[in-house]
Chain A
Amino acid sequence: DAGVIQSPRHEVTEMGQEVTLRCKPISGHDYLFWYRQTMMRGLELLIYFNNNVPIDDSGMPEDRFSAKMPNASFSTLKIQPSEPRDSAVYFCASSYLPSNYGYTFGSGTRLTVV
């Protein structure tokens, strides 16, 4: 298995632009998580899905952030409009609850908003 695949690896965008981050979880995993990592706040859970259904989006900072999971093999995190304070590394992770909780993280997307 190729693991959790995220794209793009790096994104530089101007303030006000729309940004879309993509994630392909490990096949067979039924949970998908979006995290944001910054030096100040560490790893923050933004939203997670179970069987493609959003379960908890209480970590989504504000209405500018949205996430979808149209099928078991794809999820997106969208920021519109982007702001400099959104600059961070965004990780996607997936897991299979019945076997263990251990997440497998993707390589992350480093977002810079200028």
Chain B
Amino acid sequence: GENVEQHPSTLSVQEGDSAVIKCTYSDSASNYFPWYKQELGKRPQLIIDIRSNVGEKKDQRIAVTLNKTAKHFSLHITETQPEDSAVYFCAASLSGNTGKLIFGQGTTLQVKP
């Protein structure tokens, strides 16, 4: 079946450094790629998303890039802060307007002060 692979599973950075999380997807017809942040004990929350007609999108310290040819997309966080510590999930839409997202396994990001 369709799947999304996410790497790394854990990431530890110093405050102020950048963090990059990468995902690859298998459904070539996927056209929507959101990223979710889940703080400990809380719900996953949408932080940024990108559609297939765009190669890059930025929102303050976070950005997402998409390479449709290679079927991978990445989340970039610059100037990391301790409050960025959380689990991050990538996802990709399934083709056929099913409304369904396939989630990656998650990356636990730890930002050390």
Residues of chain A touching chain B, judged by Cβ–Cβ distance below 8 Å, are: 30-31, 33, 42-43, 45, 48, 50, 55-56, 91, 95, 97, 100-108
Query: Closest A-chain residue to B33, C-beta based?
Result: A101
Mostly, the A contact residues are strand
Q: Give the size range of B's interface with the partner.
A: 10 to 19
Assess whether B106 is in contact with A42, with CB atoms less than 8 Å apart: yes
26 A-B pairs with C-beta separation under 8 A: A31-B99, A42-B103, A43-B89, A43-B106, A45-B100, A55-B98, A55-B99, A56-B98, A91-B44, A97-B97, A100-B32, A100-B49, A101-B99, A101-B101, A102-B34, A102-B46, A103-B34, A103-B44, A103-B46, A103-B101, A104-B46, A105-B36, A105-B43, A105-B44, A106-B43, A107-B42
B residues less than 8 Å from A55 (CB atoms): 98-99
State whether A43 and B103 are in contact (beta carbons under 8 Å apart), knowing that A101-B93, A102-B49 are contacts in the complex.
yes
6 residue pairs, one from A and one from B, having the closest CB atoms: A105-B43, A31-B99, A97-B99, A101-B32, A42-B105, A43-B103
Name B residues whose Cβ lies closer than 8 Å to a Cβ of A.
32, 34, 36, 42-46, 49, 89, 93, 97-101, 103, 105-106
Q: Which residues of B contact A103 (CB under 8 A)?
A: 34, 44, 46, 101
